[in-house]
Amino acid sequence: MILLFALIGRLVQIQLVSSESFTKHHINLIQSSVNQRTQVLSIDSGRGKFYDRNGEPLGHEEVPALVLFPFLKGMDWPSKKVAQAAGISESDLLSAVNKAQKPFAYGGKTPLYLTDTQMDEINSLKIPGVFAISQSVAKKMPAEQLIGTLTKWESRKKQLYPRQNLSPEAHVGNTGLQAAFDEFLLSEGESKLVFHVDGIGGPLFGVDVKYVEPANPLYPVRVITTLDKELQAAAEDLTDKLQIHNGGLLLLNIETSEIRALVSRPAIHKKNPNIGSENNMFSQAKLGSVFKTVIAAAAIDYQLVKPGQVFDCNVTINGAIDEKRRLGTLDFEESFAQSCNRTFGDLAIQLTQINPDILENYARKLNIIGPSGWQGQVFHSEIKQLFNEEQGKVWDQNTDKKDKRLAAHTGIGQQDVQVTPLAAANMMATIARGGESRMVKAVSKVTFKNGSTVVEFPNKKLDSDSISPYTAMKLQTMLRKVVIEEKGTGRVFQGLPYEVAGKSGTAQTGKMKDGKELYNKWFAGYFPYKNPRYALVAVNLEVPEDSGGINPLFHKMVMEVYRHDQNKND
């Protein structure tokens, strides 16, 4: 009797109590029993998908495919008619079916693309186990660190959705936009073709193949990103061709403050997505002389530079003769164009003596510290579009801001200064807009499957104070002189079809490799100068001083943007 009651108890547990979450592995027994007696072809996982700003799919493709079930090998079916309609060899068709152990799309990794006419003709034959359908096929994801990664880890699922009993096969967002928009993207159920079979895999005749899709026809949703698929492809191709192994680029549309292209290297490792998943465009790094833009803005507002004042640029910020770069005697704007360290070290000392917090205040006004990404309330939840965006810094917590030596090194973007490429691009966009600070967007809206809008993300201003239009105008002139001056550090960009304004930066990292000191190399700018449309930052991290220049990447990307715009206008 004890044994009988124990068996009854076990049966109750299996059939009633734990049928959807059996043992510590949370096995869904109902789903497992269905899997045991069916042949299934997944058409779509049901998870929301990403598209570029023009509605082009990112990371997937809708393929009109010929789907075949393996039980056809034991049937007499009009294979000749199917082959003729699909435009393929009957022998190849029969061979593929005979080799099949489960439902499949004909052609494998290179699926057969059917026309609408071919699909209609095949489906009109009404053959059990033969279908012409549109199937979602995964492709290499562009901007992979921005879009992010998925995981099936149970611990992650329980952390995010403790009250939902998600399938062991269900994916949830782990990084990037996949994580930031996970609640929108979560699958409402996959679309699939299901056919019931007997114990040895034969068809149960009288039971048709069923098309199963989510109960809610509005799903899966579509996340419309701000990326331009063509510009993104060009950016990735250039970054890899120029062998940027640690760094990348970020292209912003200035008017809308939207990301048009983003490349982060190293790429995500195929077998271990945790390797390379960090987005270097959202991670802080030593900035170097690009930070002189902040010093220049503060010096303009506080009128530190008198008319006709010049600086001795033959010496370093410590007062020693500069053996590497003797620039002579330069005025304020020439010092900026040629990136004279002594000038901006001296100005930083003067500013910190006036107020120790001035450098931080102006860094915040120019958006290079603090958050840059879009955030706000959506359906009573706080949405932050840019996953794990770091916020940069000017000083470490315990640094003496009035120490003249430390202030001088801070003024040239060394010491404690750390900034993300995203923030540097946002600074250039702010200057180009005349001082107006805006949040950066990676997603413009989320729509239902039928195209109706779930939520739209408007352009938003940042809460921080901004520089004045006058200061922005002065900075615009100085950034342009970096390029047009005969000895400017950006003179290599003079011949481009779009006039460029910007600032170079080379920062010591304090790291060594093969006996050589490693540097971060930057160029941050915007273009066209007279009618600004794009802000662009290119960065190569931790490379030797005599190699790994970043100017070719910036130069070639401007050319790609110009060609893209010309083609669009044509």
Looking at the structure, tell me whether residues 218 and 85 fall in a common domain: no
Q: What is the mean pLDDT of the chain?
A: 89
Who contacts 495 (Cβ-Cβ below 8 Å, separation ≥6)?
none
Tell me if 456 is assigned to some domain.
yes
Looking at the structure, tell me whether residues 280 and 364 fall in a common domain: yes
Considering 138, 168, 195, which residue would you say is the last residue of a domain? 138
Q: For residue range 186-214, list pLDDT tens digits in order.
A: 876 666 666 666 665 555 555 455 655 66
- Across 36-50, 403-417, 521-535, least confident range: 36-50
Tell me if 24 is assigned to some domain.
no
Looking at the structure, tell me whether residues 84 and 207 fall in a common domain: no
Average pLDDT over residues 163-184: 87
pLDDT at 433 over 60: yes
Q: What is the DSSP letter of 337?
A: H
Tell me if 26 is assigned to some domain.
no
Tell me if 262 is assigned to some domain.
yes
Average pLDDT over residues 77-96: 90
- Active-site residue, from 187, 257, 264, 289: 289
Looking at the structure, tell me whether residues 298 and 434 fall in a common domain: yes
Tell me if 297 is assigned to some domain.
yes
Q: What is the CATH number of the domain that holds 90?
A: 3.90.1310.10
Res 565: pLDDT? 95
Looking at the structure, tell me whether residues 522 and 441 fall in a common domain: yes
Looking at the structure, tell me whether residues 158 and 271 fall in a common domain: no
Question: How far is Cα 359 from Cα 301, in angstroms, rounded to an integer?
Answer: 12
Q: With both helix axes pointing from N to C terminus, report the angle between 292-301 and 358-365 in degrees, rounded to the nearest 10.
A: 100
Question: How far is Cα 494 from Cα 491, in angstroms, rounded to an integer?
Answer: 6
Average pLDDT over residues 297-314: 95
Looking at the structure, tell me whether residues 47 and 68 fall in a common domain: no
Looking at the structure, tell me whether residues 144 and 103 fall in a common domain: no
Considering 103, 138, 173, which residue would you say is the last residue of a domain? 138
289 is catalytic: yes
Tell me if 236 is assigned to some domain.
no
Paired tokens of 482: 């970096």
* Count of the separate structural domains present in the chain: 3
Average pLDDT over residues 298-324: 92
Average pLDDT over residues 9-22: 74
Looking at the structure, tell me whether residues 295 and 320 fall in a common domain: yes
At 368, the pLDDT band (50, 70, 90 cuts) reads: very high
Domain that holds residue 341: 252-526
Asked whether 291 and 409 are in contact (CB, 8 A), the reply is no
Tell me if 511 is assigned to some domain.
yes
Res 213: pLDDT? 61
Question: How far is Cα 467 from Cα 288, in angstroms, rounded to an integer?
Answer: 21
Tell me if 565 is assigned to some domain.
no
Res 20: pLDDT? 63
Q: With both helix axes pointing from N to C terminus, report the angle between 341-354 and 358-365 in degrees, rounded to the nearest 10.
A: 110
Res 459: pLDDT? 94
